[in-house]
């Protein structure tokens, strides 16, 4: 096959590219430039958009012995991911930009371009497995649950998954770093990135404040009583406990959590932990990673709402526009905008974006 290997400059994507090249595929390494001003990229080894990273990716491609190019995806990334991130927050929702990037950039803009140029698909260093089954090419969790990244890939439809290759899905005993070292890839010891790549400081609230400005509004309890003031509702997330700065003490000294963000009135609602309990989740924009489950009927499965969250046993159904999930046990703290991913054991069934909880 002819494959484009998306190389971030990190260890995972380097080993992924090396593995497919070794299998005899014709591989071309590509580093995605995601900021329109790469000269101004922060320095440091973490993240996915520094000059060092593009250099590291190039060096890895040289060691593997594959061609290497930089593709400018800055405007696609800005429109598809960064603007959406800001818009979601300003609507009181909590988006996951990595999901968005996979859906709109890596397996859309990049995959489309790769296909047009005559390539069969895109290789990334994500930890997930693709398996050929009688029902087609389906996605499963990685063998190593600690590394599994199928959650952030559940936004890919069958057509996108047909061109997706994840050579690291079966890594379990052999650590990727050891393999990188054995292959002579000097990124072997490079730290992993954890932050959102375009929020260099890791300070989401500060980053958002710079872009959305601050606008003070009330912090209220469930009865509507004003307990304090905030400088921008978007800097809070549902389930948050620290940093509320409330001066009115809670009745009985019970800790208070952010329950809800109401962007229209710029209000943050707080309350007791029990009030965060969620048993029913509704998600819109369903995407199926394989054949769609039969609509209008209950199915058993697992729901996951965070990249490294627990799979929660549930019953779900869908009507093609929405997925409705009933959890066996309640979950505490879920914000609109988060990704809702449905699994059938280890198989990724599909995903939706949380729109309502109860």
Partner 1 sequence: MPAYFDHAATTPLSALATSALVEQMAKIGNASSLHSPGRLIRKDVEEAREQIAGLVDANPSEIIFTGSGTEANNLALKGFYWKAHAQDPQRRVVLISAIEHHAILDPAEWLDEHEGAELVFIPVTSAGSVDLVFLTDFVQRRGSEIAVIAVMHSNNETGTLQPIAEVVAIAGDIPVHTDAVQSFGKVDFSFSQLGVTSATISAHKIGGPLGVAALILRRGLDLTPILHGGGQERDIRSGTLNAPSIVSFAAAAQESTSKMAERAIYIRSLKKYLVESLFAIFPDITVNGDQTHSLPGIVNITFPGTESDGLLLLLDAEGFYCSTGSACSAGVPRPSHVLLAMGVSERDARSSLRFSLSFSNTRAEIDQLCEVIGSVVHRARAALARG
* 51 vs 307, beta carbon nearer partner 1: 51
Stretch that binds partner 1, among 90-98, 110-118, 273-281, 311-319 (CB under 8 A): 110-118
Q: Does 65 bind partner 1 (CB under 8 A)?
A: no
Q: Does 82 bind partner 1 (CB under 8 A)?
A: no
Work out which of 118, 252, 253, 296 binds partner 1, going by CB under 8 A: 118
* 51 vs 250, beta carbon nearer partner 1: 51
- Helix, strand, or coil (residue 53): helix
* 54 vs 94, beta carbon nearer partner 1: 54
Q: Are 142 and 127 in contact (CB under 8 A)?
A: yes
CB of 56 to partner 1, least distance (A): 11
Our CA angle for 57, 116, 169, nearest 5°, is 50
Work out which of 44, 67, 243, 245 binds partner 1, going by CB under 8 A: 67
Active site residues: 101, 197
Stretch that binds partner 1, among 26-34, 152-160, 282-290, 313-321 (CB under 8 A): 26-34
Contacts of 284 (CB under 8 A, 6+ apart): 321, 322, 352, 353, 355
Q: Does 345 bind partner 1 (CB under 8 A)?
A: no
Binding-residue total with partner 1 (CB under 8 A): 25
Q: Does 116 bind partner 1 (CB under 8 A)?
A: yes
Nearest to 84 by CA among 67, 68, 105: 105
* 80 vs 92, beta carbon nearer partner 1: 80
Work out which of 20, 109, 323, 331 binds partner 1, going by CB under 8 A: 109
Tell me the C-alpha distance between 225 and 219, whole Å.
8
Q: Does 51 bind partner 1 (CB under 8 A)?
A: yes
Separate counts of helices (H) and strands (E) for the chain? 10, 17
CB of 25 to partner 1, least distance (A): 13
DSSP per-residue letters across 153-209: HTT--HHHHTTEE-TTTT-SSS-HHHHHHHTT-GGGGPPPP-S-TT-TTS-HHHHHH
What is the number of other CB atoms lying within 10 angstroms of the CB of residue 311? Answer: 18
| Residue 193: both structure tokens together | 């990135």
Q: Does 33 bind partner 1 (CB under 8 A)?
A: yes
Q: Does 31 bind partner 1 (CB under 8 A)?
A: yes
If residue 72 lies in a helix (H) or strand (E), which one and from where to where? strand 68-72
Site residues, partner 1 (CB under 8 A): 26, 28, 31, 33, 38-39, 41, 51, 54-55, 58, 67, 69-72, 74, 108-109, 112-113, 115-118
């Amino acid at each position: 096959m002819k494959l484009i290997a998306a190389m971030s400059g990190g260890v995972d994507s380097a080993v992924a590219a090396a593995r497919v090249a070794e299998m005899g595929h014709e591989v071309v390494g590509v580093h995605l430039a995601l900021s329109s001003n790469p000269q101004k990229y922060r320095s440091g080894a973490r993240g996915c958009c520094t000059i060092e990273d593009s250099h590291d990716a190039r060096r890895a491609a040289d060691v593997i012995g594959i061609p290497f190019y930089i593709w400018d995806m800055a405007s696609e990334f800005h429109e598809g991911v960064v603007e959406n991130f800001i818009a979601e927050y300003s609507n009181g929702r909590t988006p996951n930009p990595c999901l968005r990037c996979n859906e709109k950039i890596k397996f859309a803009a990049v995959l489309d371009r790769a296909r047009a140029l005559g390539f069969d698909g895109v290789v990334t260093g994500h930890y997930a497995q693709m398996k050929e089954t009688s029902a087609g090419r389906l996605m499963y969790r990685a063998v190593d649950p600690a590394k599994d990244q199928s959650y952030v890939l559940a936004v890919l439809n069958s057509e996108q998954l047909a061109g997706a290759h994840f050579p690291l899905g079966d890594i379990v005993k052999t650590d990727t770093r050891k393999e990188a070292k054995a292959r002579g890839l000097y990124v072997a010891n490079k730290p992993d990135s954890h932050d959102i790549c375009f929020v260099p400081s890791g300070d989401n609230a500060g980053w958002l404040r710079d872009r959305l400005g601050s606008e003070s509004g009330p912090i209220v309890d469930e009865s509507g009583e004003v307990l304090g003031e905030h400088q921008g509702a978007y800097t809070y997330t549902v389930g948050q406990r620290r940093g509320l700065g409330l001066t009115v003490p809670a009745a009985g000294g019970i800790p208070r959590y952010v329950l809800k963000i109401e962007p229209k009135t710029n209000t943050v609602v707080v309350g007791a932990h029990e009030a965060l309990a969620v048993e029913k989740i509704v998600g819109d924009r369903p995407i199926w990673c394989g054949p769609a489950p039969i609509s209008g009927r209950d199915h058993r499965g697992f729901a996951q709402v965070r990249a490294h969250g627990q799979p929660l046993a549930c019953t779900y159904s869908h009507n093609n526009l929405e997925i409705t999930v009933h959890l066996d046990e309640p979950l505490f703290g879920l914000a609109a905008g988060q990704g809702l991913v449905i699994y059938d054991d280890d198989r990724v069934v599909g995903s939706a974006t949380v729109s309502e909880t109860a």
